[in-house]
Amino acid sequence: MLKKYLQPGTVLFIVLFMLPLDLTAQSSTNNPEMIILTRDDGSAYILHNTAIPLSHGFHLYRKVEDEEWERLTDTPFFPVQNGYQLERNLGPLFTFIAEELDRNDPQGIFLSLRAQTGPNMIANAAIPELARELGRSYIDEDVPVGSQVSYRFEIINDLERPAGQIIEGSALINPEKPIAPIAVQAEHEGRRITLEWQYPTPEDQPETINTIRFRTFYRDVESGAVEDVTNAILARTLGDRDFRKNFNVPRLNREYEFWVEAVDISGQPSDQSEKIRLHVTDNIAPAIISGVQSSLTEDYESDISWPVSPEIDLAGYHVYVALGEEEEYTRLTDELLPPLQTFFRHTDPIPGGQYRYAVTAVDENGNEGELSNPTHLYIWDSTTPDPVSGLYAEFNTDQKYVSLNWNEPADAEQLRTFQVLRRQIHPAAGGLYDQVNQTALLDETIVDTGYGEDGFREGVFLEYGVVAVGRNGNRSDTTWTEIQIPVLTPPDPPTSVQTRMRNGESVQVTWNASLSGDVTNYRLYRQETGSEETVLQNESGRGNRFFRDSSIELNREYVFSITAVDSVGNESVPTLAEPIATHRLYPPERTRNVQALYTEEGVILQWQVLDDSQVKGYRIYRSGIATGIFEPIGETGAGELRFIHPESEAGQWFKVFPYDHTGREARTAVAVQAVRR
C-alpha cells in the first residue's frame, strides 16, 4: 500500500483523496467507471477503474455525438501479463514503486497493483505510466474539440474475441489545464528549505477536480540551473488547501527561485506558480552553552564562567543578567567577548537582589544561540519590609469573586512584590496556604476568583494574608483578615417524590432527601390538575420526609411537589410527583335489575345502581353464552342507565360494569340474556 509520509529521504507521499470519479468506492463493487480528461493540447486521456483479466486485452472505440462507433485500435492492446514485463517496461519507475511497497518480488508487486483497492485506484490515477501498462488508460491524440464524445473499452480474450465486458463513458471535449498553485511561500533554516503553497479544493473550484499531485522546483539564480526537487508523488489530499514540502539546496550564500506546478491525472502540468526568490544564508545559530557557573566575591561581585564553545565559526560570547523573578534578561556585554575568554565579572550588583546569569554564543554571521542554563546568585541584604495595614476583604455576589484591599507600607519603593495567601479555615481544609498571585504584584488590591474553574464553595470561611516582599527577598510579618463566602445557590431538590392513596380518604406523600448538606426543612405543595394555583400544604424539618394529606376531595387529580430549604432560606426548585387521582378504597357497587330486550332497534339494556357517587361511567360487555368470554361493545356516562346496541341479537348475553374515576370496574356483574319483546 502506497502510504508513506514525506520525510527526508522518502520518495513517495500519497494518501486517500477525492478522485474526480468515485473510483475508490466502485473498486469494491466492480462497477466499471471511466474518467475522460481533455488535455490542453487537444488530446483526450481516458482512465477506467477495472482490472482487465490476465491474458485479456481491449479494443477502444469512439463515437462523436450521434455518429457510429469508430474503432481506434488497429490491433488489440494487451496489458503487461506479469511482474517481469512491468519491471522491464517501467524501468526506474518500477524500482521507485517497489521501494515504496517495501517488496522485491516483481510478480508479487504486479499482483498487488492489480488488486481492486482504493490505494491502487489512486496509484493508477497518480502514475499515468502505471495505468498505461496495466491497461487502465489510453490517450486519444486526435479528438474533435467541442463535441460530446463517448469511448468504449471492449475487453477481448487471448484469441482476440470479445469477452463480453464493456466499459463506457462520455464527456464534452473541452481542453483544460490545471490551474497553478497560489500563495507560495519559502523559508529556510540553513540549507533546509520549507516550501508552502495553497490549492483550492474541488468544492472551492470544481474545475480542479482532475488535479491529483504537485511538483516542486528551484533555480540557482547565479548559475541558472533548474532542479526538480519533487522526489515524491505529492498527492492532493481530501479537503486540504494548504501543502508543504521540505528539501535541501546544495549551497549556502546563494540566491534561489522556488515555484510549484500542479499535475492532473494524465500527467499534464499547470503553469508555474508565482516564483519566490530567497537568499539562503547560514542562519543557524550556534549550539547552546552549557555548564555556566557563578560565584560571589568578597566584594559582592559576581564571577561568571563557562566552557569554550566548539563552534568552528564562533565569533564570541555575550553575557546576560536577570534580577529575581523577572523573565527578561538584560545584556551586560556591550561588545562580544573573544572566543577563548570564558570568564566575566559583574562589578555592580545591588545587595539584596537575586540574580540569574546566562551566556550565549555568536557566530561570524551574527547568529546568536539561545541563552545557556541560568546560574543563580543571591546578594545578601537583611532589611525587612514593614507589614501592610488596613487589609479588607469583600465578596462580590454578582461576579462571584473576593476583592482584597490594603494600605502599602512606608518603604513601598523597596518592595519586589506583595504575596497574597489564602486558606480555608471552616470547614478546615488543612494547614497549607495557597498563593493567590502567581506573578509580581505591586498594586494594593487584587481580585481572587477562587479555586480554578470551581470558584468558591458557598458558606465556607476563608483566611487571607498579605506579605510584603522586599527586593532582597526578605518578607514582612503577615497581615490577616477573614471572610465568609455567602450562601447564594439554592440547595438540590429531593431526588424523588412518591404518593399513594390511604384508606380511600387521604394521600400519603413521601420523598427522598436532598443531596445538599445544609438543608434545614422541606416544603410540600399541592396543585389540582387544571388549576394554576399551587398551595403550601406543609413544612417539616429535614428529618421528617412523610406527610398524609386528609384535606383532599375524592375523584380529583392532584400533583404534589416538594422543595428543599437551606439554612439561609434559599429554596430549591420543586420535585414533582406523578399526578394522582383520588378515589375510594374499593371499586363501585355492581349494577342491579339489568334488563335486556331485543327490538327492531337492536338490544336495549337498562339497569339500576344503588350508589352512583363513585361512578364515572358504565362499560357493556357481550358473549354468545352465559359462561363464555364477554367482550366490550360500548360504554355510557355516569348518569346514563340505558344503552342500545343495534348489532346485537336476541339470545346473546350481556353484563354491565360501573367504573370509577381511576378506571376500576365493579368486581362482579350479573349476566342477562336478551329476549324478544
Q: How far apart are CA 412 and CA 415, in angstroms?
A: 5
Mean pLDDT lowest among 94-103, 261-270, 566-575? 94-103
pLDDT for the residue 80: 93
- Between CA 177 and CA 37 the distance in angstroms is 10
For residues 232-237, give the mean pLDDT.
Answer: 75
Q: pLDDT value at position 332?
A: 94
Q: Which residues contact 237 (CB under 8 A, 6 or more apart)?
A: 15, 16, 17
Give the span between the Cα atoms of 166 and 33, in whole angstroms: 10
* Domain 23-172 CATH (choose: 3.30.420.140, 3.30.1540.10, 2.60.40.10, 3.30.410.10): 2.60.40.10
Q: What is the pLDDT of residue 230?
A: 87
pLDDT tens by residue, 613-629: 888 999 999 999 989 99
CATH superfamily assigned to domain 592-676 = Immunoglobulins (2.60.40.10)
Q: What is the pLDDT of residue 290?
A: 93
Average pLDDT over residues 477-492: 91
Supply the mean pLDDT for the chain.
88
pLDDT band at 234 (very low <50, low <70, confident <90, very high): confident
**Structure confidence at residue 382 (pLDDT):** 66
| CATH fit for domain 497-581, picks 2.60.40.1240, 2.60.40.10, 3.40.1390.10, 2.115.10.20 | 2.60.40.10
Give the pLDDT score at 2: 34
pLDDT-derived band at 76, boundaries 50, 70, 90? very high
| Amino acid sitting at position 161 | R
Q: Tell me the backbone φ, ψ of residue 639, rounded to 5 degrees.
A: -95, 5
Q: Output the CATH code of domain 293-378.
A: 2.60.40.10
CA torsion through residues 128, 131, 137, 138, sign: positive
Q: Is the pLDDT of residue 28 over 70?
A: no
pLDDT for position 15: 35
Contacts of residue 92, Cβ cutoff 8 Å, sequence gap at least 6: none
Above 80 in pLDDT, residue 325? no
Nearest to 200 by CA among 189, 187, 190, 209: 209
Over the stretch 139-151, which tens digit does the pLDDT of each residue have?
999 899 899 999 9
Instruction: Name the least confident of 101-105, 220-224, 632-636.
Output: 101-105
Compute the average pLDDT of residues 598-617: 89
Q: Rounded mean pLDDT of 281-297? A: 92
Counting residues of the chain whose pLDDT is more than 90, the rounded percentage is: 62
The three cell numbers of residue 573 are 426548585
Residue range 389-484 forms a domain whose CATH class is mainly beta
pLDDT at 30: 54
Report the relative pairing of strands 592-599 and 675-676 from DSSP bridges.
parallel
What residue segments make up the domains of the chain, in order of their start?
Answer: 23-172, 182-279, 293-378, 389-484, 497-581, 592-676
Report residue 667 as a C-alpha cell: 368486581
pLDDT tens digits, residue range 637-664?
988 999 999 999 999 999 999 998 888 8
pLDDT of residue 336: 95
Mean pLDDT, residues 536-548: 92
- The pLDDT of residue 298: 82
Higher-confidence position of 629 and 24: 629
Which residues, in sequence order, are CB contacts of 473 under 8 Å at separation 6+? 324, 352, 354, 378, 381, 416
Confidence of residue 6 (pLDDT cuts 50, 70, 90): very low
Which range (19-28, 281-290, 489-498, 537-546) has the least confidence?
19-28
Residue-level pLDDT at 555: 82
Match 549556502 to its residue by C-alpha cell: 252
Domain 182-279: give its CATH architecture: Sandwich (2.60)
Res 427: pLDDT: 86
Give the mean pLDDT of 591-600. 92
When mean pLDDT is compared across 322-336, 372-386, 470-484, the lowest value belongs to: 372-386
